[in-house]
Amino acid sequence: MHFTNSYGKLVTQQHSYKILILIHSFCLDDLQFADDESLDLISNIVASKAKIVFIVTYRPEEVNLDRLKGLIEPSEDIGVTKIDLKPLSEEDVIIYTAATLHRPKEYVLPLAAVIQERCAGNPFLVSIVLQRQYIHGLTAIDSRNA
């Protein structure tokens, strides 16, 4: 589980008063790998009603959702916004590849098909494969169309 702590500040002008809002946000990645003690700690922080924003990622197919229920289910006191990310479709990968390489969709079809087969629509992996292709000189970006 990766842990990132970040702070954001917002200063607004309202009736000649300055209002400073300090927002604590924590990004918790791959929560499916968290141990019970870490989940208990996070649950206690959430239950304390501190002014904290948690951004949590997890893979539902790899986690016992009962373990995370207190963190991912909304309640009276806790607001939860869920974003369910699905794999990119074959058409999405074609569009992404064409946009990245600044080429027409027809031109990138063979490459996009291989990327889709290897990455199964995972946006992160699609990006990595395209970067590696470029770094190793296997693809080129058409700067004339950029």
Q: Give residue 114's pLDDT.
A: 92
Q: Give residue 115's pLDDT.
A: 93
Q: Structure pTM?
A: 0.55
Of 18, 20, 23, which Cα lies nearest the Cα of 5?
A: 23
> Residues near 104 by Cβ (< 8 Å), separated by ≥ 6?
98
Residue 87 is given by DSSP the state P
Residue in the block written with tokens 């990455």: 119
Q: Where are the domains of the chain?
A: 2-72, 90-145
Alpha-carbon gap, residue 84 to 98, rounded angstroms: 25
- Chunk the chain into consecutive blocks of 10 residues (it has 146) and report each block's average pLDDT, rounded to whole numbers: 45 50 77 87 81 82 76 75 87 94 92 93 90 75 59
